[in-house]
Structure 1
Amino acid sequence: MATTLGDFVQITSGHPFRGRIESNKDGDVYVVQMRNIDAEGRIDVKSLTLAKSVRENSLDRLRQNDIVFIAKGSNNTASLVEGLTKDTVCAPHFFHLRIKPNKQNSILAGFICWQLNQKPAQRYFKVSAEGSLQVSIRKKVLEETPFVLPDLETQRKIVNLHRCSMKEIKTYYRLIENRQLEMTAIASDLLNRLDKST
């Protein structure tokens, strides 16, 4: 049977801030904005802005294993909510996804994120995006995203494999960066010696 994302998650809009989100030391919520999503799609919780909420609504507070989805712009990706210790919301540029209560024992939030970030879903978003100056994904479009649900064991294997691959990529980039620094140091030392000998 064909399934869609909306069969498994509740989707709500981000917190309705008006205009620019201003930092406020007396604020009551931290805010996930697009700039807080790192290159690997993770939320950098240490860089969140403390702001004053527009309304008192505990329902839009992010919880562990919720998902935020970038709805505005051309980079429509999903990020898993992890490591939050304070009241936090997502900006209006996001949709807030939460697994439905009756689906929590059959699907992993990490698997949802992984599938939304894969090529089939990304192609669907590119075709379905609307707008001229700034493209966006409507809630209905996100709800109707085609979704494949394997058994939990398969989901766990995929999520673990993805995490391992991301760690490997990070390690490779570090090795490349270290090698470049090493080569720069060698070149600098060599050129300094040449300068002194002339």
Structure 2
Amino acid sequence: MKLSQITSITSGINERRNPQGSIYYLSASDFIAPHTLDPLLEPSIMPSPKLEKHFLNKGDVIILSKGHHGFIAHSYQAIKEPAVASSIFMVLRDINPKVLPEYIAWYINLKATQKELINFSRGSALPAINKRILSDLKIQIPDLETQRKIVRLDSLKKAETKIINKLDQLKTIELEIVLKNKIQ
């Protein structure tokens, strides 16, 4: 099934930042992990009536549309709101209720899907995807229960990786302390 058959696709917006702003303006660097916004992120754009239609809703999926490191998708969890996506993103909203936003993000982030998007991207200096490329992207949609299991397993795998990395850091620190004590 094509992505355009299960969701509407829009572009992020281009706004000027302002330290007195009260609206979060999400850029690629604001995500410290998939679906996880930097907790220190501050609002940075001023409110205006034209922005309201661009406010992100919980369950929207935002996809990086430019860059050399792939076209990473994030499921917006509404931790920081109101928020809008910057123009570096494409936004999937009004997602069919039979499809989990987290599943769409997982599917888009698969290496095979990323390879497909890279192959269809435009531009040599800075690869980019557009609405048409995303609209035509074929996505396999299993039943909701299977989607939930996939999302849960993916979440557990990411948690495991985080724990393993932390354990490795602690072992490195421990080894450095032991070795330093040996030479003193």
- Tell me the TM-score normalised to structure 1 length: 0.86
Question: Are positions 1:33 and 2:31 aligned together?
Answer: no
Alpha-carbon shift at residue 23 of structure 1 (Å): 3.7
1:186 equivalent to 2:184? Answer no
Aligned residue in 2 for 1:140: 132
Q: Is the 1:12–1:95 contact (alpha carbons within 8 Å) kept by the matching residues of 2? A: yes
Question: Residue 70 of structure 1 contacts residue 77 of structure 1 at CA under 8 Å; is this kept in 2?
Answer: yes
Tell me, yes or no, if the aligned pair for 1:107 and 1:149 is still in contact at 8 Å.
yes
Q: CA deviation at 1:143?
A: 1.0
Q: What corresponds to 2:85 in structure 1?
A: 90
Is residue 49 of structure 2 the alignment partner of residue 52 of structure 1?
Answer: no
Measure the CA separation in 2 of the matches of 1:90 and 1:48.
Answer: 14
Residue from 138, 153, 157 that aligns with 1:165: 157
Quote the RMSD (CA, aligned, Å): 1.7
Q: Is the 8 A contact 2:23 2:83 kept in 1?
A: yes
Offset at residue 59 of structure 1 (A): 1.9
- Aligned partners of 1:23, 1:188: CA distance in 2, in Å? 48
Quote the Cα distance in structure 2 between the aligned partners of 1:129 and 1:76: 10
1:50-91 per-residue CA deviation (whole Å, 9 max, x = no partner) reads 222576232210111111100011221100111424210011
The alignment covers a number of residue pairs equal to 183
- Which residues of structure 2 form unaligned runs of 5+? none
Q: From the CA coordinates, give the structure whose radius of gyration is larger.
A: 1
Equivalent in the alignment of 2:12: 14
Q: Report the counterpart of residue 66 of structure 1 in structure 2.
A: 60
Whether the 8 Å CA contact 1:80–1:113 is kept in 2: the answer is yes
SS at match of 2:79: coil
Distance across 1 between alignment mates of 2:79 and 2:35: 16
Moved over 4 A (4+): none
| Deviation for aligned residue 1:9 | 1.1
Conserved in 1, the CA contact under 8 Å of 2:35 and 2:76? no
- For 1:80, the equivalent position in structure 2 comes to 75
Supply the distance in 1 between the matched residues of 2:22 and 2:42 (Cα, whole angstroms): 13
Instruction: Determine what percentage of the aligned residue pairs are the same residue.
Output: 24
8 Å CA contact 1:130, 1:136 repeated in 2: yes
Normalised TM-score (structure 2): 0.92
Q: Which moved more, 1:48-57 or 1:122-131?
A: 48-57
**Which segment drifts farther, 83-92 or 61-70?**
83-92
